[in-house]
């Protein structure tokens, strides 16, 4: 029975080692425990049981038979390699810059499989004597292990052209669109849609946290919308953009110059994020969300040299397109692009493991007064706000040409993708940030009144076709800032100020939602742990909410009251975490959406 127990010990080491492989897709919460058990369990079992047994077994075998077993010798040498390589990995590590670390990793990995094979050969007689016990122990290796079933798809992209995956050359680089569509390209190049992946500090931190908490495969849930080119080319993670051996700072780069330069040097490098073709080759969408759209990159009609890399061939390709652009337009423009359902595939979001909804921007619009197709004067699609130009607080038709040499259009759809995230776009281009701020200022109106109960402040969602705020509303800050002064100009009441750390002071009126875990603790950055909704004070489209503020007694009138409705894209504590990885990141400024001042006698 001693041999059987040693077999179990070695099998434990083997199984706990291979269970850490990405092939099995175990959740990170499990892998962390398995890694610990593998390391210290293997050390404990080796020192206390395996090594003493092997020493005694070798001595006894040599005394009895005076012969040498080839499989036994190989087994001992392989076990020694595992012991040395495992010790190196544990005490020194495999951090990428050490040849011995890499060598130890692969020796440790492949020697474990070789060891199991040698063990079976060396114990073949014992196996036949004790078939049931050993078949059970060996059979454990082949138990199926998986963290997600097919019904828990992390991303839902369908390849409508029937292929199993795309390759880098299938993804036409967006910089090639710049030649004929320079203005559209510039707007997109500084937009939040462009900077959804490797050039977005907040996203990169969140995707890394997702892996730390739930395993590397969980990144796919984020990448389905944020990085479709990486998902469809079977990449496991979003990678930092590199220039040689240097990782440039992506925060202030304007007009996607790094993308343009990289394409000139390395045209076969994958473009990460939401590219031109990522949107303009979507064939169909599903309002369910979580990247529920279909792509078709390979079965498109391409002109001669349309995707060529050399300047001469590119010139010929553009000439062919310009000579007869109707096919090109048909291939990259679909009627669905003007519908809100097109946006729903990513602007609805649910947790793949629990189906709990975390983002429902499309559903909010669907049930809003703006979804009224029978009343064209009132009906608004997503692009009517988020792809329209604002001037002096009003939407205006922007005349121009979307294509060099193209016909003059009365109303070109802008590609700023204006919205709540004014911050990152504004760091790259002032106009991009200004368009988002202008849109925010159209979202709400304020009113106030004073009675015997106190100050009443009303906020009406008068301009947004969804709740205020929407999107990842657990990270958005929309709040009231109140200042009341008496006749001596003394502040007698205040609420909604920022403290010394940049956080909104406690007790303020904040319109947001807060996710909680099963124990009703706020989940913070780990929003995928959401099980209970702790708070939801967002304002639905077209609705008004009011807040009563208790004022002190015996005030000296007249009172001057200033009310601000403020917005900040990320709380200060979130930015502080991101700044650990991106120290040059500035703090997002507070945007005052509306301000109202009134004197009460």
Q: At residue 96, does pLDDT exceed 60?
A: no
**Residue 214 and residue 349 share a domain:** yes
**Which pLDDT tens digit goes with each residue over 56-89?**
777 766 665 555 667 678 877 887 888 888 787 6
* Domain span including residue 169: 151-374
Total domains, the chain: 3
Q: What is the pLDDT of residue 31?
A: 52
Separation between Cα atoms, residue 93 and residue 405, nearest integer Å: 59
pLDDT at site 526: 95
CA gap 75, 115 in Å, rounded: 6
Name the β-bridge partners of 600: 559
- Max mean pLDDT among 19-28, 93-102, 303-312, 339-348 falls in 339-348
Residue 383 has a pLDDT of 96
The average confidence (pLDDT) of the chain is 87
Helix (H, G, I), strand (E, B) or coil at 80: helix
Q: Which residues have a Cβ under 8 Å from the Cβ of 319 and sit 6 or more positions away?
A: none
Nearest to 551 by CA among 451, 403, 470, 475: 451
For position 125, what pLDDT does the model report? 54
Cβ 476 vs Cβ 202: under 8 Å? no
Residue 157 CA to residue 563 CA, distance in Å, equals 45
Specify whether 452 is located in the same domain as 311: no
Cα(323)–Cα(481) distance, integer angstroms: 58
Do 135 and 177 share a domain, yes or no? no
**CA distances, 461 to each of 163, 237, 537 (Å):** 45, 38, 12
Domain stops at, among 88, 111, 142: 142
Report pLDDT for 242: 59
Q: CA 245 to CA 383: how far, in whole Å?
A: 40
Report if residue 421 sits inside a domain. Answer: no
Residue recorded with tokens 């390589």 = 85
Number of C-beta neighbours around residue 597 at 10 A: 11
The per-residue pLDDT for 224 is 97
Is 427 among the domain residues?
no
Does residue 118 sit within a domain?
yes
Mean pLDDT along residues 110-129: 68
Residue given tokens 């967006």 in the structure block: 174
Is 434 within the bounds of a domain? no
Q: Does one domain contain both 528 and 451?
A: yes
The closest of 266, 198, 276 to 237, measured between CA atoms, is 198
pTM: 0.74
User: DSSP labels for 312-373?
Assistant: HHHHHHHHHHHHSTHHHHHHH--GGGGSHHHHHHHHEEE-TTT--EEEEHHHHHHTSTT--T
Predicted pLDDT at 39: 76
Would 398 be classed as within a structural domain?
no
Are 272 and 232 in contact by the 8 Å Cβ rule? The answer is no
| pLDDT, greater one: 33 or 498 | 498
Domain final residue pick, 323, 342, 374: 374
* pLDDT number for residue 381: 97
Q: Which of 102, 124, 142 is the last residue of a domain?
A: 142
- 168 falls within a domain: yes
Closest CA to 533 of 546, 548, 522: 522
Instruction: Give Rg (Cα) of the chain.
Output: 31
For the cut 70, the answer to whether the pLDDT of residue 124 exceeds it is no
Degrees, nearest 5: CA angle 320-321-325: 135
pLDDT given at position 143: 39
Residues 471 and 348: their CA atoms lie apart, in Å, by 8
- In tens, the pLDDT along 146-175 reads 333 333 589 999 999 999 999 999 999 999
Of 114 and 456, the structure prediction assigns the larger pLDDT to 456
Q: Identify which of 478, 459, 473 has the alpha carbon closest to the alpha carbon of residue 543.
A: 459
Question: Same domain, yes or no, for 129 and 204?
Answer: no
Pairwise pLDDT comparison (252 vs 565), residue with the higher score: 565
In this structure, are 89 and 180 located in the same domain?
no
pLDDT at 366 over 70: yes
What percentage of residues in the chain have a pLDDT greater than 70?
Answer: 87
Please indicate, yes or no, whether residues 79 and 118 belong to a single structural domain of this protein.
yes
Confidence (pLDDT) at 101: 64
Q: Please, which residues have CB within 8 angstroms of residue 244's CB and are 6 or more apart in sequence? A: none
Q: Report the percentage of the chain scoring pLDDT > 90.
A: 64
User: Which strands form 293-295's sheet, in the order they lie side by side?
Assistant: 158-159, 293-295, 282-285
510-519 pLDDT, tens digit each: 999 999 999 9
| pLDDT tens-digit map of 315-340 | 888 888 888 888 899 999 999 999 99
Q: What is the pLDDT of residue 22?
A: 59
Of 22-36, 279-293, 314-328, 577-591, the range with the lowest mean pLDDT is 22-36
Identify the residue whose tokens are 């007698």: 492
How many residues can be counted in the chain?
A: 601
State the Cα angle at 475 between 474 and 478, rounded to 5°: 90
Phi, psi angle pair for 90, to nearest 5°: -75, -45
Average pLDDT over residues 225-241: 93
List the one residue out of 227, 230, 232 whose CA is nearest residue 163.
232
Beta bridge partners of 514: 535
Q: 522 forms bridges with which residues in the sheet?
A: 516
- What is the pLDDT, as a whole number, of residue 372? 95
Q: Please check whether residues 235 and 347 belong to one and the same domain.
A: yes
Element (H, E) at 72: helix 70-91
User: What pLDDT, on a 0 to 100 scale, did the predictor assign at position 16?
Assistant: 81
What whole-number distance in Å separates Cα of residue 171 and Cα of residue 194? 15
Same domain for 68 and 177? no
Planar angle of CA 417, 586, 223, nearest 5 degrees: 45
Pair (137, 169) in one structural domain: no
Q: What is the mean pLDDT of residues 247-270?
A: 86
In a domain, 224, yes or no: yes
- DSSP letter for each residue of 443-492: SEEEEEEEETTEEEEEEEE-S-SS-BS-SSTTS-EEEEEEEEE-TT--EE
What is the residue whose two structure tokens read 């608004």? 380
| Segment 369-420, tens digit of pLDDT | 999 999 999 999 999 999 999 999 999 999 998 998 888 899 999 999 999 9
Run of H or E including 110: helix 99-122
Contact 530, 515 (CB under 8 A): yes
DSSP assignment string, 21-52 = SGGG---HHHHHHHHHHHHHHHHHHIIIIIHH
Q: Are residues 80 and 206 in the same domain?
A: no
Lowest pLDDT segment from 28-37, 54-63, 203-212, 467-476: 28-37
**234 occurs within a structural domain:** yes
Residues 109 and 168 in one domain: no
596 SS3 class: strand
Residue 133 tokens read as: 């016990």
């Amino acid at each position: 029975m001693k041999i059987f127990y040693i077999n179990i010990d070695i099998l434990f080491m083997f199984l706990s080692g291979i269970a850490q492989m990405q092939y099995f897709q175990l959740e990170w919460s499990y892998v962390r425990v398995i890694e610990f058990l593998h390391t210290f369990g293997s050390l404990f079992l080796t020192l206390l049981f395996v090594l003493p047994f092997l020493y005694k077994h070798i001595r006894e075998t040599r005394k009895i038979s005076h012969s040498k077993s080839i499989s036994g010798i190989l087994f001992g040498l392989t076990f020694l390699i595992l012991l040395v390589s495992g010790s190196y990995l544990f005490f020194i590590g495999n951090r990428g810059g050490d040849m011995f670390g890499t060598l130890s990793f692969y020796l440790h990995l492949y020697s474990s499989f070789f060891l199991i094979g040698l063990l079976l050969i060396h114990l073949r007689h014992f196996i036949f004597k004790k078939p049931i016990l050993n078949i059970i122990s060996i059979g454990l290796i082949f138990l199926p292990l998986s963290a997600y079933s097919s019904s828990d798809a992390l991303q839902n992209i369908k390849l409508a052209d029937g292929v199993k995956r795309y390759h880098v050359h299938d993804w036409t680089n967006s910089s090639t669109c710049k030649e004929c569509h320079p203005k559209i390209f510039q707007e997109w190049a500084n937009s939040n849609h462009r900077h959804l992946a490797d050039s977005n500090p907040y996203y990169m931190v969140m995707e890394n946290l997702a892996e730390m908490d739930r395993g590397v495969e969980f990144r796919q849930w984020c990448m389905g919308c944020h990085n479709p080119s990486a998902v469809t080319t079977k990449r496991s993670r979003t990678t930092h953009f590199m220039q040689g051996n240097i990782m440039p700072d992506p925060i202030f780069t304007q007009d996607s110059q790094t993308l343009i330069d990289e394409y000139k040097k390395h045209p076969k490098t994958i473009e990460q994020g939401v590219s031109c073709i990522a949107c303009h080759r979507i064939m169909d969408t599903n309002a369910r969300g979580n990247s529920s759209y279909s792509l078709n990159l390979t079965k498109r009609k391409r002109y001669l040299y349309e995707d060529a890399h050399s300047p001469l061939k590119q010139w010929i390709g553009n000439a062919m397109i310009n000579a007869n652009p109707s096919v090109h337009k048909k291939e990259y423009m679909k009627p669905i692009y003007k519908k809100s359902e097109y946006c729903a595939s990513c602007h609805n979001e649910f947790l793949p493991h629990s189906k709990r909804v975390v983002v429902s921007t499309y559903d909010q619009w669907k049930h809003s007064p703006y979804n009224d197709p029978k009343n064209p004067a009132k009906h608004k699609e997503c692009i009517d706000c988020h792809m329209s130009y604002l001037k002096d607080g009003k939407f205006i038709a922007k005349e121009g040409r979307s294509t060099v040499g193209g016909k003059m259009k009365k109303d070109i759809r802008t590609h700023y993708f204006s919205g709540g995230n004014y911050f990152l776009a504004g760091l790259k281009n002032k106009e991009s940030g200004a368009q988002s701020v202008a849109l925010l200022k159209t979202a709400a109106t304020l009113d106030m009144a004073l009675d015997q109960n106190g100050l009443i402040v009303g906020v009406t969602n008068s301009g947004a076709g969804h709740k205020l705020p929407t999107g990842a509303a657990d990270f958005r800050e929309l709040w009231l800032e109140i200042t009341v002064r008496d006749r001596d100009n003394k502040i007698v009441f205040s609420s909604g100020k920022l403290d010394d750390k940049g956080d909104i002071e406690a007790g303020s009126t904040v319109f947001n939602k807060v996710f909680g875990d099963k124990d009703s603790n706020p989940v913070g950055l780990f929003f995928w742990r959401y099980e209970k909704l702790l708070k939801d004070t967002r304002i639905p489209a077209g609705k008004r909410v009011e807040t009563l503020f208790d004022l002190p007694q015996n005030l000296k009138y007249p009172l001057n009251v200033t009310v601000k409705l403020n917005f900040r894209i990320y709380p200060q504590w979130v930015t502080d975490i991101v700044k650990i990885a991106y120290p040059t990141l500035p703090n997002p400024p507070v945007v005052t959406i509306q301000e109202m001042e009134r004197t009460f006698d």
